[in-house]
Amino acid sequence: MYDFSADEVFAMAEQMEINGEKFYRKAADSVSEPVNKDLLIRLAEMEVNHGRIFKALRSELSAKEKESTVFDPEGEAALYLRALVDTRVFFEKEMDVSTLEKIFKAALEAEKDAIVFYLGLRDSVPDNLGGNKIDMIIKEEMSHVRLISNELVKLKRQ
């Protein structure tokens, strides 16, 4: 089994936030109502903010938490991780943007997938390599799930 370092997971988290921002901006471009467009842009900005948080947390990691767990002189692990992130959550896929409800459902699914992804990775990062810090990523993603779920409930009440 391959153990990841916290540094590698935070790098994945940063990329996932970039992908999430693109997702929300694309969705915002597809709606015409200003209030809905503003909400989706706000979600995109939240992704940007999460990326900043993860970058800051990553910069605070100890040297031990940044150590690679495998010999990788060609940097192939970074390419593997990037491919993993780009195909797991918020990847380029057909998105039904015909209604705000469908956009929120797709976003909710992606956010939940991100949490499941990080929960799975959490077991692959030993605590001495910063595994306990992965919980911070999961907590940030859970805040998005709550927000989007609340917006879906509001839509259904209308």
Tokens of 69: 């767990």
pLDDT confidence of 91, banded at 50, 70, 90? low
pLDDT confidence of 106, banded at 50, 70, 90? confident
CB neighbours of 155 closer than 8 A, spacing ≥ 6?
100, 101, 104
Query: What's the pLDDT tens digit per position in 40-66?
Result: 999 999 999 989 988 998 898 888 777
Tokens of 14: 């940063």
Residues 5/66, Cβ–Cβ less than 8 Å: yes
CB neighbours of 72 closer than 8 A, spacing ≥ 6?
78
Mean pLDDT for the stretch of residues 138-147: 90
Tokens of 55: 């970058």
pLDDT at 1 over 60: no
pLDDT at 95 over 70: no
Query: What's the pLDDT tens digit per position in 117-127?
Result: 888 878 777 78
pLDDT at 88 over 70: no
Residue 121 falls in which region: left (phi positive, over 0), alpha (psi -120 to 50) or beta = alpha
- State which of 37-41, 85-89, 134-138 shows the largest mean pLDDT: 37-41
pTM for this structure? 0.79
CATH topology of domain 6-157: Ferritin (1.20.1260)
CA 87 to chain centre: 12
Mean pLDDT for the stretch of residues 141-149: 91
Of residues 77 and 63, which shows the higher confidence score?
Answer: 63
Of residues 112 and 93, which shows the higher confidence score?
Answer: 112
pLDDT at 72 over 70: no
